Structure 1
Amino acid sequence: MVSHPSRRTVRGAFVATAAVVAAAMPTTQATAQPSTADALAKYNELSEKASQLNQDHLKAQGDLAAKQGELDKAKADLANAQKAEESLRGQVDLLTEATYGGARFNQISALLVSDSQQDFLNRMSAINILAADNAEALQKLTDAVNTADAATKTANEATEASKKLLAEIEKKKADLQKQLDEARAQYNSLSAATKTALKNTGDMSSILVPPGTAGKALDFALQQRGKPYVYGSNGPNTWDCSSLIQAAYRYAGVSIGRTSYAQAAAGRSVSRSEVKAGDIIVYYSSQSHVAMAVDNVRAVHASTEGVPVKIADINSIGPISVIRRIEG
């Protein structure tokens, strides 16, 4: 998922960074500190917007993949329906040719050509069977034609929907790139001391995790500390916020969605006071950032470009939207 320093993720990092930078400036501290805070706040704001656009872009890609699956199924259904229709048309054509070729399947013709009562009954039985076969074949043909028509409509609708999604993806991609350019320009304008503070990997100590699925997922996430953040990355050497969480639970044998939006609906909801290791914490009203609880106080997350995967105070990352528990 996309992580942003604009979250308290970076807010947490920003507060620490501002303190570090301020301490490094002896005589101009009074004027430099506000400038540093403003620059970090602006970077945070731009990063959060980029994070949301990244999640939107990822969601659109997922929607397209799902729609492509519908389109493939519709095309297969259409091919099968057309094949069935062709086969049934042949059967109906044969019965029609037999009828118009002189095979008068009615009671009068059976009576006129029968030489005994039993022969008449036999002929009538055959006529009834042929009539039933003809009616059944016609009904099947009608059903096949209707199925083919419905499949054609579905395939056409899926095709149009896919085209619209492709156009939407291209627009979101362009919007994301523009936002990334702004965020990166702001990052480049930061002082060397500020950048150094942002790049700090934080707590890299060994952390005991609980047994079970949540502990296994957390162990994976903790192993990624220090790795760079890259928008849209799926690992294993770089991550965005939601890809880190998805990969962690995949490692633990659980499948969850790729985006922070999907992860905000995974598992079950728990309150802030109930948070424990392995819980998924989704931030902002837009639900554009996600982290994993280390315990009731800390979380590990992929924050934003320029900030590595690290541990931060849960409440410093940003305003919490929802907390989800995958196990238990």
Structure 2
Amino acid sequence: MASNPAQRTTRAAVAATAVALFVGTQPLAAADPVPPNASDALKRYNELSTQAETLNEEHLRAQEELANAQGALDQANRDIAGAQQAQEALRGQVDLLTEASFQGARFSQLSALLVSDSQQDFLNRMSALGVLAYDNAESLRGLEEAVVKAEDAARRATEATDSANRAIGEIDQRKAALNQQIDEARDAYRSLSPADRRALNDAGDMGPIPVPAGKAGEALAFALSQRGKDYVYGSNGPDTWDCSSLMQAAYRSAGIAIPRTTYGQAKIGRSVTRNEVKAGDLVIYYSGQTHVAMAIDGLRAVHASTEGVPVKVQDIESIGPISVIRRVVG
């Protein structure tokens, strides 16, 4: 292809998604770290920071879907290469059979009878005639199938490339919106009073918390070990986190791979009710499913809240309205 479809498609499948996500931003994303009697400035900071986390998770989702689009394009290109190789091999086989038929292998039942020296020779010639006809028919069928596969793969690659081109501008827009929102939130943080900053920076319970045996307990132990570390939008650790990267790293430490975004994490494992919550469950918050915490027990959860707030333990209900609870193992 004239241009590199792999690079162009990366932005591909995300195109339609990017538009929808960018337009449909949810107003709340992060957990609410602000007490009811907070100052107006602190409330404003929380509003801006939660909006920034929503954009952050949506941008991460776009990148994730972009990677999926890249995978689809790569597969289409592999299919094209395989089909083209098959075509070349089968064309060669058909050409050989055709050439053989014109150079002596071409004979009818009558000619086979006329040139045969014996009955056995005739049977041998008839058998060769049947094999040649069968091989030629099979090669032609294979060649037709290879051509169809190549055409289908080329169509898929073209669609993926077109989609990628449409997505480029949308992803750039999403990133620009995220950066602007983060800047506003950080400006608001810098304007807070020392008392407001102390309220945000409170790491809460830093004491030992027992965890159950098993993979969920291992993941929880990791998440708890990160208490006190800072939140940074889009961070993947190990010194700073956002809400979904902390959950992903926690389960990775237990040998379990989970998606990077809150949206992906809201679909893994199995759903459990609020009354069934136990250690290691992922609690997804807000109607837009834009924040996630890990349950410690039926009352508490550990999470990375938002910038200016360290990873900490909070009451499950105080973090925000629960959308869904997912059990990753068990």
Q: CA RMSD in A?
A: 2.3
Identity %: 62
**How far 1:73 moved relative to its partner?**
1.9
| CA deviation profile, 1:125-175 (whole Å, cap 9, x unmatched) | 221221111111111111221122222222222333333444432222112
Task: Report the counterpart of residue 15 of structure 2 in structure 1.
Answer: none
Q: Where does residue 282 of structure 1 map in the other structure?
A: 284
**Cα separation, 1, equivalents of 2:30 and 2:122:** 93
Q: TM-score, normalised by structure 2?
A: 0.85
Residue-pair matches, total: 305
> Are 1:49 and 2:71 matched, yes or no?
no
CA contact (8 A) 2:270 2:327 kept: yes
The correspondence for 2:174, drawn from 172, 175, 187, is 172
In the alignment, the residues of structure 2 paired with residue 49 and residue 7 of structure 1 have an alpha-carbon distance, to the nearest angstrom, of 6
Aligned to 1:295: 297
Cα pair 1:60 1:165 within 8 Å, conserved: no
Deviations 1:277-314 (CA, angstroms, capped at 9, x unpaired): 22211111011001112222221110111111111221
For the 8 Å contact 1:17–1:197, the answer to whether it is kept is: no
Residue type matched to 1:9 in 2?
A
- Equivalents in 1 of 2:210, 2:36: separation in Å? 26
Between the two structures, name the one with larger relative contact order (CA 8 Å, sep ≥ 6): 1
In 1, Cα distance between equivalents of 2:180 and 2:118:
92
Q: Secondary structure at the match of 1:134?
A: helix
User: In 2, distance between residues paired with 1:270 and 1:115?
Assistant: 83
Structure 2 counterpart of 1:9: 31
**TM-score, normalisation: structure 1:** 0.85
Alignment partners' CA distance in 1, 2:273 and 2:106: 80
For 1:199-278, list aligned pairs within 5 A: 199-278=201-280
CA positional deviation for 1:107: 2.1
Q: Pick from 39, 42, 56: which aligns with 2:41?
A: 39
Uncovered stretches (5+) of structure 2, i.e. residues with no partner:
1-27
Name the structure 2 match of 1:107: 109
Aligned to 2:314: 312
SS of equivalent to 1:285: coil
The residue aligned with 1:120 is: 122
Call closer, same or farther: CA 1:9–1:137 in 2, change over 3 Å. Answer: closer
> Does the residue aligned with 1:9 lie in a helix, a strand or coil?
coil
Paired residues of 2:52 and 2:178 also in contact (CA < 8 A): yes
Name the amino acid aligned to 1:254.
I
